Structure 1
Amino acid sequence: MDKFLLQQQVLDRLAEDLLQVEQALREAHETATHEENIAENKYDTLGLEAAYLATGQARRAEAIRQAMAHWRQFRPRPYDASQGIQLGALVCLVDAGGQQQHLFLGPDGGSMRLLSGTQLVQVISSEAPLGRAMLGKYEGDGVLIGVGSIRQQFEVLQVD
């Protein structure tokens, strides 16, 4: 798997998401400011609700822009076996049932699933519980995460 190709796919997907959010922001702003939506009484809240929605969309657009900036600055490095798993690693984990999953550890804001050839790759942040648990691990190490009362254990099969 090519890390730089995965990085470009993340940036492409974030750009698509930003276009959608900006379109939703424009529509919410137009609804909030349209003359037909001026409140005539205290129960007429369509304009106010649209303004709240526009504010939320603006925050989401800014979060996507920040994620894009982080991903543009990100330079995945080759795996260094002396340091273990670090940001930029491609990791293959296997669970107790023998189910494998491929992960690409990247900066914040890129949590998504991508295809690399025919292989499904989950992009996760080092801030995600599984991302934090993998940092510093080596091939053959166990990775344990807990979500509420549920505990999951994985083995690191391969790191690139």
Structure 2
Amino acid sequence: MDKHALRQLIVERLAQDFDVLQRAAQTAYETATHEENVAENKYDTLGLEASYLATGQARRMEEIRQAQGLYQQLTLREYDEQRGIEVGALVTLEAKNGQLQWLFLGPEAAGLKITLDGRLVTVITPRSPLGQSLLGKREDDEVNITVAAVRQAYTVIHVT
């Protein structure tokens, strides 16, 4: 899989998410400031709720804008076995049951899922338990994490 193509797809998806969120924030803002939504009593909270929603969406838009910038500036290096897995690595993991998963260790946008070459790639960050565990690992290394008191073990199959 081509990491450069993956990065481009991530930037495009973030741009799409930003556009959708921007329209939603504008709608919430218009609802919050519309003259019909002025509170008539303390129980009339539609305008206030829309204001909170618009504020939250504006924060999320800023997070997406920052993530876009980080991905556009991200230098994608070839995998170096001496340094091991680092931000920008595309990793293939195999679970004990043989199931494969593809992960991209990115600077932001954790949880984003992108389809590339017919494979579903999940973006994770070094702040996640799995991302932390992967840093510095090499091909054929084992990675163990505990999620909700359940231990999960993976083998690093391939890194690009």
- Regarding TM over 0.5, the answer is yes
- Is contact 1:95-1:154 (8 Å) kept? yes
TM superposition shift of 1:135: 0.6
The reply on whether 1:10 has 2:10 as its aligned counterpart is yes
2:35 paired residue number: 35
Query: Corresponding residue for 1:142?
Result: 142
Secondary structure at 2:67's aligned position in 1? helix
Inter-partner Cα distance in structure 2 for 1:141 and 1:130: 13
Q: Quick one: distance in 2 between partners of 1:78 and 1:101? A: 20
Task: Identify unmatched segments of 5+ residues in structure 1.
Answer: none
Contact 2:39 2:47 (C-alpha < 8 Å) held by counterparts? yes
Distance 1:7 1:110 in 2: 13
Indicate whether 1:70 and 2:70 are aligned.
yes
Q: Which amino acid aligns with 2:59?
A: R
> Does the CA-based 8 Å contact 2:109-2:123 persist in structure 1?
no
**Aligned residue identity for 1:102:** W
* Aligned-partner residue type, residue 53 of structure 1: L
Q: Percent identity?
A: 52
- The two structures, once aligned, show a CA RMSD in angstroms of 1.0
How many residues are paired up? Answer: 160
C-alpha contact (below 8 Å) 2:105/2:126 kept by paired residues? yes
Cα distance in 1 between the residues matched to 2:29 and 2:120: 37
Deviating above 4 A after TM superposition, structure 1's stretches of 4 or more consecutive aligned residues are none
Gaps of 5+ in 2: none
Counterpart secondary structure, 1:75: coil
1:6-64 residue CA offsets vs partner (Å, 9 max, x unmatched): 00000000001100111111001100110111111111111111111111111111111
Q: Distance in 1 between matches of 2:42 and 2:34?
A: 17
Question: 1:110 Cα deviation (Å)?
Answer: 4.7
Structure 1 counterpart SS, 2:88? coil
Provide the C-alpha distance between the structure 2 equivalents of 1:76 and 1:127, rounded to a whole number of angstroms.
Answer: 19
Task: Give distance in 1, aligned partners of 2:91 and 2:44.
Answer: 53
Tell me the distance in 2 between the aligned counterparts of 1:80 and 1:47. 54
The answer (yes or no) to whether the contact 1:14–1:110 under 8 Å persists in 2 is no
